[in-house]
């Protein structure tokens, strides 16, 4: 078997063509075209072709985001209104009763908008408890705004509920018109508000007891 001569890369140049000995005419010689000039590097388009980025459709529209922000502004206006009314009367501000439910309300609104399940599925328990939630809400707000004694634990007077309901409807309508939003107090919103008021009411009753 014939042995092939190995190349010493330290001392030899691969594929080197030695110049022939003697003199030869240089008139026909020419330089090879340089293909790696700086102009050619910047002139070529080296951008890689990328596939189009496909994003999923947004679960919340811009209009819904604006409504959520306006809901937060309305709740802030309610707190300022109550504080101002008690400052004019030179009474202690009842902000301890008005629980800051902005964050929880926004979280509930976001979760309601981003649910992938069908919106037509209605919670019957929430629907049945809607009237009870509203009546408790009216009574608590009427007690808080008017500065009356704590409401009874079991039965609320019809007159107090009607007065509170009328007060809420008037103030909520004014704020909705000022903020240019639709006044929509659905079952889910009443439930969120009622939970916050129940927590603060329990804390208030413990302090009074």
DSSP 83-139: HHHHHHTT----TTTS---HHHHHHHHHHHHS--S-TT---HHHHHTHHHHHHHHHH
Least confident of 15-29, 41-55, 69-83: 69-83
**45 lies in some domain:** no
How many CB atoms sit inside 10 A of residue 46's CB?
Answer: 6
For residue 60, what is the DSSP state?
Answer: S
Q: Domain of residue 169: give its range.
A: 62-117+127-208
Alpha-carbon distance of 142 to 150, in angstroms, equals 10
**71 lies in some domain:** yes
Alpha-carbon distance of 108 to 188, in angstroms, equals 8
Question: Would the pLDDT of 17 be above 80?
Answer: yes
Q: Give 83-127 pLDDT, tens digit per residue.
A: 665 555 544 444 444 445 455 555 555 555 544 444 444 455 555
**52 lies in some domain:** no
Q: Give 175-201 pLDDT, tens digit per residue.
A: 667 767 666 655 555 555 555 556 655
**93 lies in some domain:** yes
Q: In the chain, pLDDT over 90 holds for what percent of residues?
A: 0
**98 lies in some domain:** yes
Alpha-carbon distance of 105 to 81, in angstroms, equals 19
**18 lies in some domain:** no
**47 lies in some domain:** no
What is the structure's pLDDT at 54?
85
Output the CA–CA distances (angstroms, integers) from residue 4 to 1, 7, 16, 27, in the order listed.
9, 9, 18, 39
Alpha-carbon distance of 201 to 195, in angstroms, equals 10
**69 lies in some domain:** yes
Number of domains in the chain: 1
Model-level pTM?
0.24
Give the distance between the most distant pair of CA atoms in the chain. 124
What is the structure's pLDDT at 119?
43
Residues 193-205: b if buried by 16+ CB within 10 A, e if exposed: bbebbeebbeebe
């Amino acid at each position: 078997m014939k042995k092939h001569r190995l190349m010493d890369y330290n001392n030899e140049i691969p594929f080197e063509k030695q110049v022939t000995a003697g003199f030869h005419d240089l008139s026909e010689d020419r330089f090879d075209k340089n293909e790696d000039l700086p102009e050619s590097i910047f002139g070529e388009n080296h951008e890689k072709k990328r596939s189009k980025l496909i994003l999923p459709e947004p679960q919340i529209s811009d209009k819904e985001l604006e409504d959520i922000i306006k809901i937060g502004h309305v709740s802030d206006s309610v707190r300022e209104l109550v504080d101002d009314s008690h400052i004019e009367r030179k009474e202690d501000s009842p902000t301890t009763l008005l629980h800051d439910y902005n964050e929880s309300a926004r979280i509930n609104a976001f979760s309601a908008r981003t649910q992938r399940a069908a919106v037509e599925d209605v919670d019957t328990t929430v629907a049945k408890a809607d009237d009870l939630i509203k009546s408790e809400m009216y009574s608590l707000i009427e007690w808080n705004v008017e500065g009356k004694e704590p409401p009874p634990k079991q039965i609320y007077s019809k007159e107090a509920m009607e007065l509170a309901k009328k007060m809420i409807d008037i103030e909520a309508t004014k704020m909705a018109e000022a903020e240019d939003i639709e006044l929509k107090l659905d079952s889910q919103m009443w439930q969120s508000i009622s939970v916050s008021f129940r927590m603060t009411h329990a804390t208030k009753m413990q302090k009074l007891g």
